[in-house]
Amino acid sequence: MKLILSFFCAFLIIFAASGQNIAVDHQLKGLTIRSSVVDGDSGLLGTKGEKKGGGCVYGLNNKGKWTALNKGKALSPDVEDVQAVAIVTADIYLAGTWKNGLFISENKGKSWEKLLAFPSQDIRSIQVSPHSQLIYAVTMDKGILKSFDNGYTWVTCTADSIIKSTGAWSIEIDPENDSIVYAMSFSGAVLRSIDQGCSWQSVLTHDGIMFYDLAISSVNSAKIWAAGANDSSGVFYFSYDRGEHWFITKNIPNITMNEVVVIEQLEYVIAGSWGQGCYLMRNDYNWTKIEGIAFDTTTDMWIQNDSILHVFTWGDGVYRIDLSEL
């Protein structure tokens, strides 16, 4: 309980949900959060500025506050947009940028160095295996790459003939088997590889829809959820067998879904959107807007300690809610 209470020591907002008053911690107001990761009590986020020199990285400290790393400076004077962040070890962090390549820190973000040998300047997503040193990175022009040495060197996963088709918005690793990986391709499909990215299969498509995010159960990784959207509406799918079969959810709210997280212990599903806020679905399949999150455009969501929801926004910082109080 001490850990949860420490998260709500500043910028508190109160909103009503299910007849209860719930504390919402709102930090970094006015900032555009482009990327994030929360792992245990640690976290990183990358920002997008309005011009060069605005792409910074923040860390989550043990008091639950986001503080600027690298002495508050951008990764370099040219960096505008930090599109991907990753915690590799307790000391080693990675940050992927738009147009400026991949950066590494060996001292918990106190300083950063550009990895000149990384083959792409545009990194969209980085995911670290929970079981090994395997790391996947999604790029726009080189497809999906992987590293086995904490991100110092990288190899291309795919043959040159399919690099363009594996360009993706995001990527997710099966927590039980890091040879299984899913990519939300710019072609609109959810792609799956079962051999560490050496080959890929399209496992889900929906006409006119781009899939942006995929959630994998922490209890049984065969269970996955996929969220997608076009300019005016969204779709939400579920699979119980790692994407072999899919079921579409019919009664979703009319939002352009771009993020999904699942808390099976609480039987909650939370969906974010491009402009209509965040919604929570309980096990009765009824969706309710989370009114305490006042900003409507979501860029990422994470669950911490099975109950703390982190919502990162395009333009208004970070919101955190203790879902166990709902």
pLDDT in tens, 22-47: 678 999 999 999 999 999 889 999 99
108's CB contacts (< 8 A; 6+ apart) are 59, 69, 90, 91, 93
Q: What is the pLDDT of residues 172-212, one digit of tens each?
A: 999 999 999 999 999 999 999 999 988 899 999 999 999 99
pLDDT score at 257: 97
Amino acid at 100: N
Tens of pLDDT along 125-164? 999 998 888 999 999 888 899 999 999 999 988 766 556 6
Triad 113, 116, 119: Cα angle to 5°? 130
Q: Which residue has the tokens 């994030």?
A: 36
Residue range 74-100: average pLDDT?
A: 97
Least confident segment among 89-98, 108-117, 158-167: 158-167
Give the whole-angstrom CA distance, residue 130 versus residue 28: 29
pLDDT at position 14 is 33
| pLDDT for 293 | 83
- Summarised one tens digit per residue, pLDDT across range 254-290 is 999 999 999 888 889 999 999 999 999 987 788 999 9
Residue 4: per-residue pLDDT? 25
What is the predicted pLDDT for the residue at 1?
Answer: 24
Give the whole-number percent of the chain exceeding pLDDT 90.
72
Q: What is the DSSP string of 180-213?
A: -EEEEETTSPEEEESSTTSS-EEEE--TT-EEEE
Using a cut of 0.85, tell me whether the model's pTM lies above it: yes
Query: How high is the pLDDT of residue 111?
Result: 98
The better pLDDT of the pair 156, 165 is held by: 156
Q: State the Cα–Cα distance between residues 174 and 196, nearest whole angstrom.
A: 11
**DSSP β-bridge partners for residue 104:** 94, 113
83 vs 8, residue with greater confidence: 83
